[in-house]
Amino acid sequence: MGVIEFRFAVGDLARMSFAYSPLQEVVYSLRAWRDPARYPHQRPWLRRLGPAFRRQDTELLTALVAPRLWVPDFLTPRPDRTRPTLAAQLETLRRTPPQVLAPEITAAYGPDPLPPVLRTGLTDPERLLDRIVGALDTYGHACLAPDWWPRVHAVLEADLAHRGKVLAEEGAGGLFASLDPRLTWNGDVLTLVKKVDRHPWPEADIRIGGRGLVLVPTLFAQGAHTMIDPALPPLLSYPARGRATISETPPPASDASLIRLLGAARARILRLLAEPASTTELAHRLGVTPGAVSQHLSILYDAGLLTRTRSGRSVRYVRSELGERLAA
């Protein structure tokens, strides 16, 4: 079995943080084009986005994912803040030293041969890097930004809120166990045991050493994993909670009594708020404007059916005890 150990020194646990990465999701989404069967929740999106994707630089984009679905480390730099923008991360990617492209692409491909677009491109790595940044930028804005990313963003925001609650209530042991059952924590060392398969992950002994471990949720992982190169700043990606909802359509408000009492729109919102969500997240899930959702939330809150808490710059709503009883 492959074993990856993250070794914590005094103070390292306090410097651990959460973040999501728009660039990581853009890059990892290419895995779904490579192997759709692994990502059943993304299939409706793949069918919908197929025509737009085929207009992209598909030769290069699909080559960025190796046959074993690994991607070069430089494509997914560690987020430098909790909620970075795609534009800022693309600028970080653009500043990648060109000399790292060849070893990191080779490491991702392992025993598999490089496709011609990469083999030829690496003769001029600076030009290849510029083409990669341009292709990812265009793909992200043309295919993902209009509809797909808002749904993903809502899932990632909800995951961060949930993990923070787990950490506060259950401590580090409960948090790590919730990320992946293969993770174990003994108070000093976080161990990830990976089964040996066709594509074994290299063993690693990673010392946090004051650098901080960043935990990053993703919709494109079946288990926790880290960077290929263990010398890079510590990062652990894990499967985002609620990723199955990415393919959902807004649930129907089917309870006739609840609809007669609240109206269809407010009944649907109350049903959705079994888990905390912001106005923007609800608007994306319902396909309406944030302003319309905000009016309904105010009425439900004033009626005592919701509670609200501030998370960063957003306000998150959830059903109150009265709201729970009414929804039931």
For the segment 302-320, what is each residue's pLDDT rounded down to a tens digit? Answer: 888 999 888 677 788 998 8
57 and 120 in a single domain? The answer is yes
Of 228, 244, 260, which one is at a domain's C-terminal end? 244
Domain span including residue 77:
22-149
* In a shared domain, residues 211 and 286: no
pLDDT at 194: 75
**Mean pLDDT across 322-328:** 81
Same domain membership, residue 262 and residue 192: no
User: To which H or E segment does residue 136 belong?
Assistant: helix 125-139
Total domains present in the chain: 3
User: Token pair for residue 227?
Assistant: 């960077």
For residues 96-100, average pLDDT:
97
List the 204-207 sheet strands across, edge first.
183-185, 189-194, 2-7, 204-207
User: Residue 254: pLDDT above 60?
Assistant: no
Listing DSSP states for 64-100 in one string gives TS-TTS---GGGSPPPSSSS--HHHHHHHHHTS-GGG
Strands 214-218 and 235-239: parallel
* Closest C-alpha among 65, 83, 56 to residue 27: 65
As a whole number of angstroms, the distance between CA 248 and CA 224 comes to 24
Instruction: Specify whether 144 is located in the same domain as 190.
Output: no
Do 39 and 124 share a domain, yes or no?
A: yes
- Determine contact, residues 166/175, Cβ cutoff 8 Å: yes
SS (H, E, C) 273-317: CCCCEEHHHHHHHHCCCHHHHHHHHHHHHHCCCEEEEEECCEEEE
Q: At 235, phi and psi to the nearest 5?
A: -150, 140
Do 186 and 8 form a contact (C-beta atoms < 8 A)? Answer: no
In the chain, what percentage of residues exceed pLDDT 90? 59
Report the chain's mean pLDDT, rounded to a whole number.
90
Q: Are residues 210 and 288 in the same domain?
A: no
Query: What is the rounded radius of gyration, in angstroms, for the C-alpha atoms of the chain?
Result: 21
- In this structure, the answer to whether residues 139 and 33 fall within a common structural domain is yes
Sorting pLDDT into bands at 50, 70 and 90, what band is 200?
low
- pLDDT band at residue 150, thresholds of 50, 70 and 90? confident
Identify whether residues 239 and 194 lie together within a single domain: yes
CA 328 to CA 323: how far, in whole Å? Answer: 8
Residues 111 and 190 in one domain: no
Place of tokens 């302003």: 291
Q: Is the pLDDT of residue 288 over 70?
A: yes
pLDDT interval class at 253 (50, 70, 90): very low
CA 44 to CA 148: how far, in whole Å? 11
H helical segments located in 238-278: 256-262, 264-272
Q: Are residues 223 and 269 in the same domain?
A: no
Tell me: do 219 and 255 sit in the same domain: no
Whether 288 and 268 share a structural domain: yes
Tell me how long the chain is.
Answer: 328
Domain boundary among 149, 178, 211: 149
Please report which confidence band the pLDDT of residue 249 belongs to, taking 50, 70 and 90 as the band edges: low
The last residue of one of the domains, among 244, 276, 292, is 244
- Say which amino acid occupies 55: R
Count of other CB atoms within 10 angstroms of residue 110: 13
- Structure-token pair, residue 162: 């949930």
Least confident of 12-21, 92-101, 271-280, 309-318: 309-318
User: pLDDT tens, 108-128?
Assistant: 999 999 999 999 999 999 999
